[in-house]
C-alpha cells in the first residue's frame, strides 16, 4: 500500500533487506478513514502484510476481507486493493515485498494463496510475524546496517509460511497437487541446506514419495532436484561472503556451513556459477570498511 489519504504518519519507513526483499512499515492514526491502493510497478513484488492494532477492511476484485490484529495476508500485485479503517486505535501494517523469483513457489500457486488472512498464533505464521514485528521495530536503524542475510531469512520464513498455507488450502486438482508438493519439498530443502547428507533419496523419503516422483516435480522448471539444492546453497554462500559480519569466517568454512563436502567442491561450483572463486568474489564484493 503506497498511497494514502490523510492518515499516514511521518513514522513510515521502507528498508531494503537484501536479496531483492523490502519491508515497508505503514502507520495509520486515529483519523476517521483512509483509502489506499497497492501500486503495480514494473518490478513486481508480492506484498505479504502483517496487521497490528485496529482492524482493516480491504476491498478487492474477489470481494472484501477484514483483517484483525495479528493477521498475515498475501496480496496479488496484479490486483490492486482498496483499504479502509474507521475511527479508533491506530494501525500498523508491516508489508514484506517479495520478489517472485526468490520464492520456490510458482506464481500460479502464489495467486491461489492471495486474500486469505491467517492468524499468526502458531507454527510458520507465528515465526514470520515475530520476525516482521522485529524488523518493524528497528526499521529506522537498518538502512546503515548490512542486511543481505536478513533478506535471505525473510525469504526462507515466507517460503515456509506460504508452503504451509498452500498445503492447508490446496485443491485436489492435479496441477494444484503438483504445486503443493513442490512447495513442501522446497520448504524442506530450505530448512536442511546445512545438512551434507541432503540427497534426492532422503528428500523423497521424508515426503513419502519415490525419487522418480520427486524429480518429476522439478522437471516443469527444466531442472533437477540436485541442481536446485546446489543453486540454493550457492545463493546462501554468496550472501555470507558479502556480509561484513562474516569477514572473519573463511570461504571454506562458509561452504561447509551450507552443506558443501569440501573446499574444492565448493570453490569449483562457485566459480562455475559466478565466474570467480569464492575468495576473489568476496574481495570484489565485500563493502570497504
DSSP codes joined into one string, 70-131: TEEEE--TTS--EEE--SSS-EEEEEEEE-GGGSSS-HHHHHHHTT--EE-SSHHHHHHHHH
Write phi, then psi, for 50 (nearest 5 degrees). Answer: -110, 125
| Higher-scoring residue by pLDDT: 236, 139 | 236
* Burial of 278 per CB tally in 10 Å (0-12, 13-18, 19+): buried
User: What confidence score (pLDDT) does residue 172 get?
Assistant: 38
User: What confidence score (pLDDT) does residue 170 get?
Assistant: 46
> Is the alpha carbon torsion for 134, 91, 125, 238 positive or negative?
negative
User: What confidence score (pLDDT) does residue 70 get?
Assistant: 92
User: What confidence score (pLDDT) does residue 6 get?
Assistant: 39
Measured distance CA(224)–CA(203) in Å, rounded: 13
CA 35 to chain CA mean position, Å: 27
95-150 pLDDT per residue, tens: 999 887 777 777 777 888 888 889 998 889 999 999 999 988 887 777 655 667 78
Contact predicate 99/16, CB 8 Å: no
CA distances from 120 to 46, 50, 94 (A): 19, 9, 13
pLDDT over 50 at 232, yes or no:
yes
User: What confidence score (pLDDT) does residue 255 get?
Assistant: 94
C-alpha grid cell, residue 6: 490523510
User: What confidence score (pLDDT) does residue 147 get?
Assistant: 66
Residue 141: CB partners within 8 Å, gap ≥ 6?
none
The winner for highest mean pLDDT among 11-25, 137-151, 247-261 is: 247-261
pLDDT over 50 at 14, yes or no:
yes
Helix, strand, coil percentages for the chain (3-state, nearest 5): 45, 20, 35
Domains and CATH numbers, the chain: 13-166 (2.60.120.280)
Give the residue from 114, 129, 116, 113 showing the smallest Cα distance to 52.
129
Q: What is the mean pLDDT of residues 24-44?
A: 52
Amino acid at each position: 500500500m503506497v498511497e494514502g489519504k490523510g492518515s499516514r504518519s511521518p513514522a513510515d519507513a521502507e528498508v531494503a533487506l537484501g536479496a531483492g526483499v523490502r519491508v515497508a512499515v505503514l502507520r495509520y492514526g486515529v483519523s476517521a478513514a483512509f483509502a489506499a491502493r497497492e501500486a503495480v510497478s514494473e518490478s513486481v513484488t508480492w506484498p505479504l502484510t502483517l496487521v497490528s492494532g485496529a482492524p482493516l477492511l480491504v476491498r478487492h476484485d474477489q470481494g472484501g476481507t477484514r483483517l484483525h490484529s495479528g493477521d498475515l495476508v498475501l496480496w496479488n500485485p496484479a490486483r490492486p486493493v482498496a483499504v479502509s479503517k474507521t475511527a479508533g486505535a491506530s494501525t500498523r501494517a508491516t508489508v514484506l515485498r517479495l520478489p517472485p523469483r526468490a520464492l520456490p513457489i510458482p506464481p500460479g500457486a502464489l495467486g491461489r494463496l492471495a486474500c486469505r488472512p491467517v492468524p499468526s498464533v502458531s507454527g510458520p505464521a507465528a515465526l514470520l510475524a515475530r520476525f516482521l514485528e522485529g524488523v518493524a521495530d528497528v526499521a529506522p536503524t537498518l538502512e546503515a546496517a548490512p542486511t543481505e542475510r536478513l533478506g535471505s531469512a525473510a525469504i526462507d520464513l515466507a517460503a515456509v509460511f506460504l508452503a504451509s498455507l498452500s498445503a492447508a488450502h490446496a485443491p485436489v486438482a492435479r496441477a494444484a497437487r503438483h504445486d503443493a508438493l513442490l512447495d513442501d519439498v522446497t520448504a524442506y530443502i530450505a530448512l536442511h541446506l546445512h545438512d551434507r547428507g541432503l540427497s534426492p533419496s532422503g528428500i523423497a523419503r521424508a515426503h513419502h514419495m519415490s525419487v522418480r516422483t520427486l524429480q518429476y516435480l522439478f522437471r516443469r522448471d527444466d531442472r533437477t532436484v540436485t541442481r536446485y539444492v546446489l543453486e540454493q546453497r550457492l545463493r546462501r554462500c554468496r550472501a555470507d561472503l558479502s556480509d561484513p559480519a562474516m569477514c572473519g569466517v573463511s570461504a571454506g568454512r562458509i561452504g561447509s556451513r551450507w552443506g558443501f563436502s569440501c573446499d574444492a567442491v565448493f570453490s569449483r561450483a562457485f566459480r562455475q556459477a559466478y565466474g570467480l572463486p569464492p575468495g576473489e568474489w568476496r574481495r570484489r564484493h565485500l563493502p570497504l570498511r
